[in-house]
Structure 1
Protein backbone atom coordinates (compact mmCIF):
# COMPACT_ATOMS: atom_id res chain seq x y z
CA UNK A 1 0.00 0.00 0.00
CA UNK A 2 1.18 3.49 -0.83
CA UNK A 3 0.99 6.23 1.77
CA UNK A 4 2.20 9.79 2.15
CA UNK A 5 4.71 10.60 4.88
CA UNK A 6 5.85 13.99 6.12
CA UNK A 7 9.61 13.87 5.60
CA UNK A 8 12.16 16.69 5.71
CA UNK A 9 9.51 19.37 5.23
CA UNK A 10 7.77 17.72 2.25
CA UNK A 11 5.34 14.88 1.61
CA UNK A 12 6.78 11.75 0.05
CA UNK A 13 4.59 9.03 -1.38
CA UNK A 14 5.99 5.70 -0.14
CA UNK A 15 5.33 2.01 -0.70
CA UNK A 16 6.79 -0.57 1.67
CA UNK A 17 6.75 -4.29 0.79
CA UNK A 18 7.88 -7.41 2.61
CA UNK A 19 8.55 -8.36 6.21
CA UNK A 20 9.50 -5.40 8.39
CA UNK A 21 12.05 -7.61 10.14
CA UNK A 22 14.02 -8.28 6.95
CA UNK A 23 16.95 -6.15 5.77
CA UNK A 24 15.62 -3.05 4.03
CA UNK A 25 16.34 -2.02 0.46
CA UNK A 26 15.38 1.52 -0.57
CA UNK A 27 15.03 2.07 -4.31
CA UNK A 28 15.95 5.48 -5.76
CA UNK A 29 14.62 6.21 -9.25
CA UNK A 30 16.08 8.48 -11.91
CA UNK A 31 15.18 12.00 -13.03
CA UNK A 32 11.78 12.21 -14.72
CA UNK A 33 10.75 8.86 -13.26
CA UNK A 34 8.72 7.77 -10.23
CA UNK A 35 8.50 4.71 -8.03
CA UNK A 36 6.74 2.67 -10.74
CA UNK A 37 9.98 2.71 -12.75
CA UNK A 38 10.93 -0.15 -10.39
CA UNK A 39 8.63 -2.87 -11.67
CA UNK A 40 6.32 -4.73 -9.31
CA UNK A 41 7.84 -8.10 -10.20
CA UNK A 42 11.36 -6.80 -9.57
CA UNK A 43 10.24 -5.73 -6.10
CA UNK A 44 8.46 -9.04 -5.52
CA UNK A 45 11.59 -11.02 -6.37
CA UNK A 46 13.65 -9.00 -3.89
CA UNK A 47 10.96 -9.61 -1.24
CA UNK A 48 10.99 -13.33 -2.06
CA UNK A 49 14.74 -13.21 -1.42
CA UNK A 50 14.19 -12.08 2.17
CA UNK A 51 14.27 -8.29 1.83
CA UNK A 52 11.78 -5.62 2.67
CA UNK A 53 11.66 -3.08 -0.14
CA UNK A 54 10.82 0.61 0.01
CA UNK A 55 10.19 2.54 -3.17
CA UNK A 56 9.03 6.13 -3.17
CA UNK A 57 8.28 9.09 -5.38
CA UNK A 58 10.93 11.76 -4.95
CA UNK A 59 9.98 15.44 -5.07
CA UNK A 60 8.22 16.35 -8.31
CA UNK A 61 7.55 12.68 -9.02
CA UNK A 62 4.30 10.75 -8.89
CA UNK A 63 2.21 11.65 -5.86
CA UNK A 64 4.87 13.40 -3.77
CA UNK A 65 5.22 17.15 -3.21
CA UNK A 66 5.59 18.96 -6.52
CA UNK A 67 6.40 22.50 -7.60
CA UNK A 68 5.37 24.52 -10.64
CA UNK A 69 7.00 23.24 -13.79
CA UNK A 70 10.24 25.11 -14.33
CA UNK A 71 10.49 26.22 -10.70
CA UNK A 72 12.04 23.47 -8.55
CA UNK A 73 12.83 24.72 -5.06
CA UNK A 74 15.40 22.10 -4.10
CA UNK A 75 18.71 20.57 -5.16
CA UNK A 76 20.41 17.19 -5.11
CA UNK A 77 21.49 17.66 -1.50
CA UNK A 78 17.83 18.09 -0.54
CA UNK A 79 16.95 14.82 -2.27
CA UNK A 80 19.74 13.11 -0.33
CA UNK A 81 18.44 14.59 2.92
CA UNK A 82 14.93 13.39 1.99
CA UNK A 83 16.19 9.81 1.52
CA UNK A 84 18.11 9.83 4.80
CA UNK A 85 15.14 11.29 6.67
CA UNK A 86 12.80 8.72 5.13
CA UNK A 87 15.00 5.89 6.38
CA UNK A 88 14.82 7.40 9.86
CA UNK A 89 11.06 8.04 9.66
CA UNK A 90 10.44 4.43 8.74
CA UNK A 91 12.47 3.32 11.75
CA UNK A 92 14.97 1.46 9.59
CA UNK A 93 18.19 2.76 11.17
CA UNK A 94 20.22 1.81 8.07
CA UNK A 95 19.12 0.73 4.62
CA UNK A 96 20.65 -0.74 1.49
CA UNK A 97 20.30 1.80 -1.33
CA UNK A 98 19.70 0.57 -4.88
CA UNK A 99 19.69 3.46 -7.30
CA UNK A 100 19.48 4.50 -10.94
CA UNK A 101 20.99 7.53 -12.73
CA UNK A 102 20.08 10.68 -10.76
CA UNK A 103 19.11 8.34 -7.95
CA UNK A 104 22.69 7.03 -8.03
CA UNK A 105 23.97 10.57 -7.55
CA UNK A 106 21.58 10.99 -4.62
CA UNK A 107 22.74 7.67 -3.14
CA UNK A 108 26.38 8.78 -3.30
CA UNK A 109 25.45 11.93 -1.39
CA UNK A 110 23.49 9.98 1.21
CA UNK A 111 26.54 7.78 1.82
CA UNK A 112 28.81 10.84 2.09
CA UNK A 113 26.60 13.23 4.06
CA UNK A 114 24.42 10.79 6.05
CA UNK A 115 26.69 7.73 6.38
CA UNK A 116 24.91 6.35 9.41
CA UNK A 117 21.83 5.66 7.32
CA UNK A 118 23.50 3.51 4.65
CA UNK A 119 24.38 -0.20 4.81
CA UNK A 120 25.40 -0.74 1.17
CA UNK A 121 25.09 0.95 -2.21
CA UNK A 122 24.10 -0.65 -5.52
CA UNK A 123 24.41 1.92 -8.30
CA UNK A 124 23.49 1.76 -11.97
CA UNK A 125 23.48 4.31 -14.77
CA UNK A 126 25.94 6.24 -12.62
CA UNK A 127 28.86 8.60 -12.93
CA UNK A 128 31.40 9.54 -10.25
CA UNK A 129 30.06 12.69 -8.68
CA UNK A 130 27.01 14.52 -9.94
CA UNK A 131 25.42 14.88 -13.36
CA UNK A 132 26.58 18.13 -14.92
CA UNK A 133 29.89 18.18 -13.07
CA UNK A 134 32.88 18.40 -15.39
CA UNK A 135 34.73 15.09 -15.87
CA UNK A 136 36.83 15.52 -19.04
CA UNK A 137 38.75 12.32 -18.32
CA UNK A 138 35.64 10.17 -18.72
CA UNK A 139 34.15 8.87 -21.99
CA UNK A 140 31.82 11.39 -23.66
CA UNK A 141 28.14 10.92 -24.26
CA UNK A 142 27.08 9.38 -27.57
CA UNK A 143 26.68 11.86 -30.42
CA UNK A 144 22.93 11.21 -30.53
CA UNK A 145 22.54 12.23 -26.89
CA UNK A 146 24.72 15.31 -27.34
CA UNK A 147 22.50 16.32 -30.27
CA UNK A 148 19.39 15.87 -28.13
CA UNK A 149 20.81 18.08 -25.40
CA UNK A 150 21.89 20.72 -27.93
CA UNK A 151 18.31 21.39 -29.00
CA UNK A 152 15.42 22.24 -26.71
CA UNK A 153 12.98 19.37 -26.93
CA UNK A 154 9.28 20.34 -27.09
CA UNK A 155 7.08 18.67 -24.51
CA UNK A 156 3.77 16.97 -25.25
CA UNK A 157 0.28 18.42 -25.11
CA UNK A 158 -0.57 17.29 -21.58
CA UNK A 159 -4.29 17.43 -22.37
CA UNK A 160 -3.85 14.72 -25.00
CA UNK A 161 -3.38 11.35 -23.27
CA UNK A 162 -2.32 9.53 -26.43
CA UNK A 163 0.27 12.20 -27.22
CA UNK A 164 1.65 12.03 -23.70
CA UNK A 165 1.95 8.25 -23.85
CA UNK A 166 3.76 8.45 -27.18
CA UNK A 167 6.09 11.10 -25.77
CA UNK A 168 6.95 9.02 -22.71
CA UNK A 169 7.71 5.95 -24.80
CA UNK A 170 9.72 7.73 -27.48
CA UNK A 171 11.72 9.73 -24.94
CA UNK A 172 13.21 6.42 -23.75
CA UNK A 173 14.24 5.22 -27.21
CA UNK A 174 17.55 7.16 -27.48
CA UNK A 175 18.71 5.72 -24.15
CA UNK A 176 17.83 2.09 -24.82
CA UNK A 177 20.33 -0.65 -25.36
CA UNK A 178 20.15 -3.61 -27.71
CA UNK A 179 16.45 -4.25 -26.99
CA UNK A 180 13.73 -1.60 -26.99
CA UNK A 181 10.68 -3.14 -25.30
CA UNK A 182 8.02 -0.76 -26.55
CA UNK A 183 5.09 -2.75 -25.13
CA UNK A 184 6.55 -2.77 -21.61
CA UNK A 185 7.42 0.92 -21.79
CA UNK A 186 3.92 1.80 -22.97
CA UNK A 187 2.37 -0.15 -20.11
CA UNK A 188 4.60 1.70 -17.66
CA UNK A 189 3.77 5.03 -19.33
CA UNK A 190 0.08 4.36 -18.74
CA UNK A 191 0.75 3.85 -15.03
CA UNK A 192 2.80 7.06 -14.93
CA UNK A 193 0.05 9.12 -16.56
CA UNK A 194 -2.68 7.66 -14.36
CA UNK A 195 -0.90 8.33 -11.06
CA UNK A 196 0.88 11.64 -11.63
CA UNK A 197 -1.08 14.84 -10.88
CA UNK A 198 1.72 17.14 -12.10
CA UNK A 199 3.34 15.34 -14.99
CA UNK A 200 4.75 18.56 -16.44
CA UNK A 201 6.76 19.06 -13.24
CA UNK A 202 7.96 15.44 -13.21
CA UNK A 203 9.27 15.73 -16.77
CA UNK A 204 10.87 19.14 -16.25
CA UNK A 205 12.01 20.01 -12.74
CA UNK A 206 14.37 17.12 -11.89
CA UNK A 207 16.52 18.14 -14.86
CA UNK A 208 16.78 21.75 -13.66
CA UNK A 209 17.94 21.27 -10.09
CA UNK A 210 21.32 22.33 -8.75
CA UNK A 211 23.78 19.44 -8.50
CA UNK A 212 25.68 21.35 -5.81
CA UNK A 213 29.42 21.26 -5.22
CA UNK A 214 31.33 18.50 -7.04
CA UNK A 215 32.03 15.53 -4.78
CA UNK A 216 34.05 13.16 -6.95
CA UNK A 217 37.15 13.85 -4.86
CA UNK A 218 35.23 12.76 -1.73
CA UNK A 219 34.22 9.32 -3.01
CA UNK A 220 37.11 7.71 -1.14
CA UNK A 221 35.26 8.59 2.08
CA UNK A 222 32.48 6.10 1.33
CA UNK A 223 33.02 3.27 3.78
CA UNK A 224 30.18 0.85 2.91
CA UNK A 225 30.26 -1.97 0.35
CA UNK A 226 29.46 -0.70 -3.14
CA UNK A 227 28.36 -2.61 -6.25
CA UNK A 228 28.28 -0.71 -9.54
CA UNK A 229 26.37 -1.95 -12.58
CA UNK A 230 26.84 -0.13 -15.86
CA UNK A 231 25.14 -0.71 -19.17
CA UNK A 232 27.59 -1.78 -21.83
CA UNK A 233 25.58 0.27 -24.34
CA UNK A 234 24.81 3.23 -22.06
CA UNK A 235 24.90 6.30 -24.36
CA UNK A 236 24.73 8.83 -21.51
CA UNK A 237 27.32 7.38 -19.13
CA UNK A 238 29.38 4.80 -21.04
CA UNK A 239 30.99 1.95 -19.07
CA UNK A 240 34.07 3.99 -18.23
CA UNK A 241 31.93 6.06 -15.87
CA UNK A 242 30.97 3.05 -13.79
CA UNK A 243 34.53 1.78 -13.78
CA UNK A 244 35.82 5.18 -12.62
CA UNK A 245 33.16 5.33 -9.92
CA UNK A 246 34.10 1.90 -8.58
CA UNK A 247 37.82 2.74 -8.73
CA UNK A 248 37.24 5.84 -6.60
CA UNK A 249 35.49 3.97 -3.76
CA UNK A 250 37.56 1.61 -1.61
CA UNK A 251 36.58 -2.00 -2.22
CA UNK A 252 33.84 -1.21 -4.74
CA UNK A 253 33.11 -3.71 -7.50
CA UNK A 254 31.95 -2.94 -11.06
CA UNK A 255 29.98 -5.16 -13.43
CA UNK A 256 29.04 -4.37 -17.03
CA UNK A 257 25.60 -5.42 -18.29
CA UNK A 258 26.16 -6.17 -21.96
CA UNK A 259 23.66 -4.65 -24.38
CA UNK A 260 22.01 -2.53 -21.69
CA UNK A 261 21.56 1.19 -22.20
CA UNK A 262 20.76 3.97 -19.74
CA UNK A 263 17.78 2.17 -18.25
CA UNK A 264 16.68 0.57 -15.00
CA UNK A 265 17.61 -3.11 -15.05
CA UNK A 266 15.67 -4.59 -18.00
CA UNK A 267 13.86 -7.84 -17.30
CA UNK A 268 16.39 -9.81 -19.31
CA UNK A 269 19.06 -8.87 -16.73
CA UNK A 270 17.11 -9.84 -13.63
CA UNK A 271 18.49 -13.38 -13.37
CA UNK A 272 21.94 -11.83 -13.07
CA UNK A 273 21.14 -8.63 -11.20
CA UNK A 274 18.71 -9.78 -8.51
CA UNK A 275 20.93 -12.57 -7.08
CA UNK A 276 23.84 -10.13 -7.09
CA UNK A 277 21.82 -7.56 -5.14
CA UNK A 278 20.62 -10.18 -2.66
CA UNK A 279 24.19 -11.37 -2.09
CA UNK A 280 25.46 -7.80 -1.77
CA UNK A 281 22.81 -6.93 0.84
CA UNK A 282 23.04 -10.12 2.88
CA UNK A 283 24.05 -10.31 6.56
CA UNK A 284 24.71 -6.62 7.11
CA UNK A 285 23.09 -4.18 9.58
Structure 2
Protein backbone atom coordinates (compact mmCIF):
# COMPACT_ATOMS: atom_id res chain seq x y z
CA UNK A 1 0.00 0.00 0.00
CA UNK A 2 1.26 3.47 -0.88
CA UNK A 3 2.00 5.83 2.00
CA UNK A 4 2.98 9.49 2.23
CA UNK A 5 6.04 10.01 4.43
CA UNK A 6 7.17 13.36 5.87
CA UNK A 7 10.85 13.43 4.94
CA UNK A 8 13.42 16.22 4.76
CA UNK A 9 10.72 18.89 4.79
CA UNK A 10 8.69 17.33 1.95
CA UNK A 11 6.20 14.53 1.38
CA UNK A 12 7.44 11.39 -0.37
CA UNK A 13 5.04 8.67 -1.46
CA UNK A 14 6.49 5.17 -1.06
CA UNK A 15 5.42 1.56 -1.30
CA UNK A 16 7.09 -1.58 0.03
CA UNK A 17 7.03 -5.23 -1.00
CA UNK A 18 8.15 -8.30 0.93
CA UNK A 19 9.45 -9.03 4.41
CA UNK A 20 11.13 -6.15 6.32
CA UNK A 21 13.52 -8.72 7.80
CA UNK A 22 15.03 -9.36 4.35
CA UNK A 23 17.84 -7.26 2.81
CA UNK A 24 16.35 -3.92 1.75
CA UNK A 25 16.52 -2.77 -1.88
CA UNK A 26 15.75 0.88 -2.60
CA UNK A 27 14.66 1.46 -6.20
CA UNK A 28 15.25 5.00 -7.52
CA UNK A 29 14.04 5.72 -11.04
CA UNK A 30 15.28 8.37 -13.45
CA UNK A 31 14.26 11.84 -14.53
CA UNK A 32 10.51 12.49 -14.62
CA UNK A 33 9.72 8.90 -13.65
CA UNK A 34 7.47 8.08 -10.72
CA UNK A 35 7.72 4.82 -8.85
CA UNK A 36 5.25 3.26 -11.30
CA UNK A 37 8.15 2.91 -13.72
CA UNK A 38 9.42 0.20 -11.36
CA UNK A 39 6.37 -1.98 -12.09
CA UNK A 40 4.78 -3.75 -9.13
CA UNK A 41 5.24 -7.09 -10.90
CA UNK A 42 9.00 -6.51 -11.05
CA UNK A 43 9.06 -5.46 -7.38
CA UNK A 44 7.18 -8.64 -6.46
CA UNK A 45 9.69 -10.78 -8.34
CA UNK A 46 12.48 -9.25 -6.27
CA UNK A 47 10.47 -9.70 -3.07
CA UNK A 48 9.83 -13.34 -3.94
CA UNK A 49 13.61 -13.79 -4.07
CA UNK A 50 13.99 -12.66 -0.46
CA UNK A 51 14.35 -8.90 -0.79
CA UNK A 52 12.47 -6.12 0.99
CA UNK A 53 11.76 -3.76 -1.91
CA UNK A 54 11.04 -0.04 -1.59
CA UNK A 55 9.92 2.07 -4.52
CA UNK A 56 9.00 5.73 -4.19
CA UNK A 57 8.13 8.93 -5.98
CA UNK A 58 10.98 11.43 -5.93
CA UNK A 59 10.07 15.09 -5.68
CA UNK A 60 8.05 16.31 -8.67
CA UNK A 61 6.88 12.82 -9.59
CA UNK A 62 3.73 10.93 -8.69
CA UNK A 63 2.14 11.85 -5.38
CA UNK A 64 5.22 13.39 -3.78
CA UNK A 65 5.78 17.12 -3.22
CA UNK A 66 5.64 19.13 -6.42
CA UNK A 67 7.04 22.54 -7.37
CA UNK A 68 5.99 25.06 -10.04
CA UNK A 69 7.08 23.92 -13.51
CA UNK A 70 10.57 25.14 -14.29
CA UNK A 71 11.28 26.14 -10.67
CA UNK A 72 12.42 23.11 -8.68
CA UNK A 73 13.27 23.98 -5.10
CA UNK A 74 15.98 21.34 -4.74
CA UNK A 75 19.18 19.86 -6.14
CA UNK A 76 20.44 16.32 -6.70
CA UNK A 77 21.99 16.30 -3.22
CA UNK A 78 18.55 17.07 -1.82
CA UNK A 79 17.15 14.05 -3.65
CA UNK A 80 19.88 11.92 -2.07
CA UNK A 81 19.04 13.38 1.36
CA UNK A 82 15.41 12.47 0.68
CA UNK A 83 16.43 8.84 0.15
CA UNK A 84 18.28 8.78 3.48
CA UNK A 85 15.30 10.39 5.19
CA UNK A 86 12.95 7.84 3.66
CA UNK A 87 14.88 4.84 4.93
CA UNK A 88 15.03 6.56 8.33
CA UNK A 89 11.24 6.89 8.25
CA UNK A 90 10.94 3.22 7.36
CA UNK A 91 13.28 2.18 10.17
CA UNK A 92 15.94 0.77 7.84
CA UNK A 93 19.62 1.10 8.71
CA UNK A 94 21.23 0.08 5.38
CA UNK A 95 19.92 -0.44 1.87
CA UNK A 96 21.05 -1.80 -1.43
CA UNK A 97 20.52 1.12 -3.83
CA UNK A 98 19.36 0.48 -7.40
CA UNK A 99 19.48 3.79 -9.30
CA UNK A 100 18.46 4.27 -12.92
CA UNK A 101 19.48 6.82 -15.55
CA UNK A 102 19.62 10.39 -14.11
CA UNK A 103 19.27 8.94 -10.63
CA UNK A 104 22.61 7.25 -11.04
CA UNK A 105 23.76 10.64 -9.76
CA UNK A 106 21.55 10.23 -6.70
CA UNK A 107 22.98 6.76 -6.14
CA UNK A 108 26.50 8.14 -6.46
CA UNK A 109 25.87 10.84 -3.85
CA UNK A 110 24.32 8.27 -1.53
CA UNK A 111 27.22 5.85 -1.88
CA UNK A 112 30.01 8.41 -1.54
CA UNK A 113 28.54 10.70 1.12
CA UNK A 114 26.53 8.12 3.13
CA UNK A 115 28.61 4.93 2.94
CA UNK A 116 27.39 3.56 6.28
CA UNK A 117 23.81 3.56 4.99
CA UNK A 118 24.49 1.91 1.62
CA UNK A 119 25.27 -1.81 1.36
CA UNK A 120 25.74 -1.78 -2.43
CA UNK A 121 24.95 0.34 -5.47
CA UNK A 122 23.57 -0.92 -8.76
CA UNK A 123 23.72 1.65 -11.58
CA UNK A 124 21.13 0.98 -14.31
CA UNK A 125 21.36 2.72 -17.70
CA UNK A 126 23.47 5.57 -16.35
CA UNK A 127 26.71 7.42 -17.07
CA UNK A 128 29.77 9.13 -15.64
CA UNK A 129 28.89 12.15 -17.76
CA UNK A 130 32.38 12.32 -19.28
CA UNK A 131 32.64 14.64 -22.28
CA UNK A 132 34.22 12.02 -24.56
CA UNK A 133 31.33 9.54 -24.35
CA UNK A 134 29.09 9.04 -27.41
CA UNK A 135 26.03 11.27 -27.71
CA UNK A 136 22.41 10.17 -27.65
CA UNK A 137 20.85 8.92 -30.86
CA UNK A 138 17.15 9.51 -30.28
CA UNK A 139 14.64 11.59 -32.26
CA UNK A 140 13.66 15.00 -30.98
CA UNK A 141 9.99 15.55 -30.20
CA UNK A 142 8.58 19.02 -29.63
CA UNK A 143 7.19 19.64 -26.15
CA UNK A 144 3.39 19.47 -26.23
CA UNK A 145 0.77 21.93 -25.10
CA UNK A 146 0.35 20.85 -21.49
CA UNK A 147 -3.33 21.77 -21.54
CA UNK A 148 -3.89 19.05 -24.15
CA UNK A 149 -3.81 15.73 -22.27
CA UNK A 150 -3.92 13.64 -25.45
CA UNK A 151 -0.94 15.50 -26.90
CA UNK A 152 1.01 15.08 -23.64
CA UNK A 153 0.28 11.36 -23.58
CA UNK A 154 1.41 10.95 -27.17
CA UNK A 155 4.59 12.93 -26.53
CA UNK A 156 5.58 10.82 -23.54
CA UNK A 157 4.73 7.53 -25.26
CA UNK A 158 6.70 8.37 -28.40
CA UNK A 159 9.70 9.62 -26.40
CA UNK A 160 9.69 6.57 -24.14
CA UNK A 161 9.33 4.06 -26.97
CA UNK A 162 12.23 5.69 -28.80
CA UNK A 163 14.42 5.32 -25.70
CA UNK A 164 13.37 1.82 -24.66
CA UNK A 165 14.22 0.28 -28.01
CA UNK A 166 13.07 -2.83 -29.86
CA UNK A 167 11.96 -4.82 -26.80
CA UNK A 168 9.52 -2.10 -25.72
CA UNK A 169 5.86 -3.12 -25.38
CA UNK A 170 4.16 -0.06 -26.86
CA UNK A 171 0.67 -0.71 -25.54
CA UNK A 172 1.94 -1.49 -22.03
CA UNK A 173 3.97 1.73 -22.16
CA UNK A 174 0.90 3.73 -23.17
CA UNK A 175 -1.12 2.27 -20.29
CA UNK A 176 1.69 3.09 -17.86
CA UNK A 177 1.87 6.68 -19.13
CA UNK A 178 -1.88 7.08 -18.65
CA UNK A 179 -1.66 5.80 -15.08
CA UNK A 180 1.30 8.08 -14.38
CA UNK A 181 -0.51 11.13 -15.73
CA UNK A 182 -3.65 10.39 -13.72
CA UNK A 183 -1.68 9.92 -10.52
CA UNK A 184 0.67 12.91 -10.67
CA UNK A 185 0.19 16.06 -8.61
CA UNK A 186 1.48 18.12 -11.54
CA UNK A 187 2.53 16.22 -14.65
CA UNK A 188 4.04 19.28 -16.32
CA UNK A 189 6.35 19.67 -13.33
CA UNK A 190 7.16 15.97 -13.59
CA UNK A 191 8.33 16.41 -17.17
CA UNK A 192 10.38 19.55 -16.61
CA UNK A 193 11.73 20.05 -13.11
CA UNK A 194 14.30 17.28 -12.84
CA UNK A 195 16.02 18.76 -15.88
CA UNK A 196 16.00 22.23 -14.34
CA UNK A 197 17.54 21.36 -10.97
CA UNK A 198 21.19 21.72 -9.98
CA UNK A 199 23.10 18.50 -10.71
CA UNK A 200 25.52 18.79 -7.81
CA UNK A 201 27.55 15.66 -7.13
CA UNK A 202 28.95 14.15 -3.94
CA UNK A 203 30.64 16.40 -1.42
CA UNK A 204 33.47 13.97 -0.82
CA UNK A 205 34.54 12.46 -4.15
CA UNK A 206 33.28 10.56 -7.18
CA UNK A 207 32.81 7.09 -8.66
CA UNK A 208 36.29 5.99 -7.65
CA UNK A 209 35.50 6.70 -4.01
CA UNK A 210 32.68 4.16 -3.71
CA UNK A 211 33.73 1.57 -1.16
CA UNK A 212 30.75 -0.80 -1.28
CA UNK A 213 30.10 -3.47 -3.97
CA UNK A 214 28.99 -1.90 -7.25
CA UNK A 215 27.13 -3.46 -10.17
CA UNK A 216 26.45 -1.79 -13.51
CA UNK A 217 23.51 -2.92 -15.67
CA UNK A 218 23.18 -1.44 -19.14
CA UNK A 219 21.20 -2.10 -22.28
CA UNK A 220 23.17 -3.34 -25.28
CA UNK A 221 21.23 -1.03 -27.61
CA UNK A 222 20.67 1.99 -25.35
CA UNK A 223 20.14 4.94 -27.74
CA UNK A 224 20.00 7.61 -25.03
CA UNK A 225 23.17 6.60 -23.17
CA UNK A 226 24.99 4.15 -25.47
CA UNK A 227 26.69 1.15 -23.91
CA UNK A 228 30.02 3.00 -23.66
CA UNK A 229 28.44 5.04 -20.85
CA UNK A 230 27.84 1.91 -18.77
CA UNK A 231 31.34 0.66 -19.55
CA UNK A 232 32.70 4.00 -18.36
CA UNK A 233 30.87 3.63 -15.03
CA UNK A 234 32.32 0.14 -14.60
CA UNK A 235 35.81 1.36 -15.42
CA UNK A 236 35.49 4.27 -12.98
CA UNK A 237 34.69 2.01 -10.00
CA UNK A 238 37.48 -0.42 -9.07
CA UNK A 239 36.15 -3.95 -8.59
CA UNK A 240 32.74 -3.29 -10.14
CA UNK A 241 31.12 -5.55 -12.73
CA UNK A 242 28.94 -4.97 -15.77
CA UNK A 243 25.87 -6.91 -16.91
CA UNK A 244 24.81 -6.12 -20.48
CA UNK A 245 21.13 -6.69 -21.24
CA UNK A 246 21.11 -8.09 -24.78
CA UNK A 247 18.65 -6.32 -27.07
CA UNK A 248 17.64 -3.79 -24.42
CA UNK A 249 17.54 -0.05 -24.88
CA UNK A 250 17.41 2.55 -22.11
CA UNK A 251 15.96 0.66 -19.17
CA UNK A 252 14.84 -2.85 -18.31
CA UNK A 253 12.17 -4.33 -20.62
CA UNK A 254 9.75 -6.89 -19.23
CA UNK A 255 11.27 -9.59 -21.43
CA UNK A 256 14.52 -9.28 -19.42
CA UNK A 257 13.11 -8.86 -15.91
CA UNK A 258 14.30 -12.31 -14.82
CA UNK A 259 17.86 -11.54 -15.92
CA UNK A 260 17.70 -8.19 -14.13
CA UNK A 261 16.34 -9.78 -10.94
CA UNK A 262 19.01 -12.48 -11.00
CA UNK A 263 21.75 -9.83 -11.24
CA UNK A 264 20.31 -7.68 -8.45
CA UNK A 265 19.74 -10.65 -6.15
CA UNK A 266 23.31 -11.85 -6.67
CA UNK A 267 24.66 -8.37 -5.85
CA UNK A 268 22.41 -7.87 -2.79
CA UNK A 269 22.94 -11.25 -1.17
CA UNK A 270 24.63 -9.82 1.90
CA UNK A 271 22.80 -7.73 4.50
TM bracket, shorter-chain basis = over 0.9
Is residue 175 of structure 2 the alignment partner of residue 187 of structure 1? yes
Contact 1:87–1:117 (8 Å) recurs in 2: no
Pairing of 1:8-23 with structure 2 (within 5 A):
8-23=8-23
Pairing of 1:137-176 with structure 2 (within 5 A):
137-142=132-137, 144=138, 148=140, 153-158=142-147, 160-176=148-164
User: C-alpha deviations, 1:125-166, integer Å up to 9, x for none?
Assistant: 1102xxxx5x22322222x45xx3xx8x322433x4333322
Q: Residue 260 of structure 2 aligns with which residue?
A: 273
Q: How far apart in 2 are the matches of 1:281 and 1:169?
A: 32
Secondary structure in structure 1 of the residue aligned to 2:206: helix
Q: Where does structure 2 lack aligned partners over 5 or more consecutive residues? A: none
TM-score, normalization by structure 2: 0.94
Contact 2:77–2:201 (8 Å) recurs in 1: no
RMSD: 1.8
Secondary structure in structure 2 of the residue aligned to 1:203: helix
Q: How many corresponding residue pairs?
A: 271
For residue 262 of structure 1, report the CA deviation from its aligned partner. Answer: 1.3
- Displacement over 6 Å in runs of 4+: 214-217
Secondary structure in structure 2 of the residue aligned to 1:207: helix
For residue 248 of structure 1, report the CA deviation from its aligned partner. Answer: 1.2
Contact 1:156–1:167 (8 Å) recurs in 2: no
Secondary structure in structure 1 of the residue aligned to 2:72: coil
Q: Residue 98 of structure 1 aligns with which residue?
A: 98
Secondary structure in structure 2 of the residue aligned to 1:14: strand
Q: How far apart in 2 are the matches of 1:212 and 1:29?
A: 18
User: C-alpha deviations, 1:7-39, integer Å up to 9, x for none?
Assistant: 111110111111111111110011011000001
TM-score, normalization by structure 1: 0.90
Is residue 42 of structure 2 the alignment partner of residue 42 of structure 1? yes
Between stretches 21-30 and 250-259, larger displacement belongs to 250-259
Q: How far apart in 1 are the matches of 2:156 and 2:201?
A: 31
For residue 213 of structure 1, report the CA deviation from its aligned partner. Answer: 4.9
